Amino acid sequence: MLSDAHYRAVVEFLHREARLADEARYAEWHALWTDDGVYWVPATTDPAADPEKHLSHIYDNRTRLDTRIKLLQTGHRYSQEPPSLMRRLISNIEVERAENGEFVAASNFILAELSVQAKHEMHWWVGRTTHRLRLVDGALKMSQKKVVLVNAAEPLPNLSFLI
């Protein structure tokens, strides 16, 4: 059973996670992950996509996720230096509780990214996200974030910000 309080906590987490990503607050966003976190952005919209067989845009275990954050924090990740200006809207949220107690939240997003590292350009990113959230010492943390872009298989501009 999912209580109203649980639902509200999950939605608040999604909103906070989105804001930290939008504002390039790398350390705070990084702290939202469990130690066994998996960050996955498939390169296809096929629901049968298997990251052990098919190429992904991102398939980070915790070690690679740490590297991703460190790169952004060097100040020399020129594809995000300075960081893109971003705001994303999250909607159509559906929350379930998995057998292991984790919350599984599916949601749609639309993200406006103003890329400012070369010619200034607005990029629009749209997709569906699945979060797996686990209670760790009373606080929710992400154990998985999967982002399926509607144009995952099409030519994409740089995606080195936090999607």
Partner 1 sequence: MSIPAPLRIDYKTLVQDDRIHVSLYTDPRIFTDEMDRIFARGWVFVGHDSEVPTPGDFVTREIGAQPVIMVRKRDGDVSVFLNRCMHRGTMLCPAASGHTRTFACPYHGWTYDLDGTLLGVPYPGGYASFDKSAHGLRAVPRVSSYRGFVFASFSRTGPTLAEHLGPATRLIDRSCDLSPDGEIELRAGWVKHRCAANWKALPENDSDGYHLGFVHLSLFKTVRSSQYQRVVGDEKAIKAVVRDWGNGHIEIDWSPGYEQPFEWFGSASGPTVERFVAALERRDGSERARRRIMEGPAHALIFPNLFLGETNVAIVQPVSVEECVHWHTPMFWKGVPEFDGRLLRMSEAGMGPASFLMPEDLIVSARNQAGLHASSVEWLELARGLNREYIDAEGRAVSHVTDETTNRALWTHYRTVMTEA
Which residues here bind partner 1, judged by CB under 8 A? 41, 43-44, 51-59, 64, 67-68, 70-72, 74-80, 117-119, 121, 153-160, 163
The minimum distance between CB 152 and partner 1, in angstroms, equals 9
What burial class does residue 106 get, using C-beta atoms within 10 Å of its C-beta: 0-12 exposed, 13-18 middle, 19+ buried? middle
The minimum distance between CB 57 and partner 1, in angstroms, equals 4
* Residue closer to partner 1, measured from CB, 4 or 52: 52
Q: CA distances (Å), 35 to each of 32, 38, 84, in order?
A: 10, 9, 27
The minimum distance between CB 61 and partner 1, in angstroms, equals 9
* Residue closer to partner 1, measured from CB, 95 or 144: 144
The residues that bridge with 31 in the sheet, in sequence order, are: none
Task: Give residue for tokens 């109203």.
Answer: 4
* Residue closer to partner 1, measured from CB, 52 or 99: 52
Please state whether beta strands 139-149 and 33-42 pair in parallel, antiparallel, or not at all (unpaired).
Answer: parallel
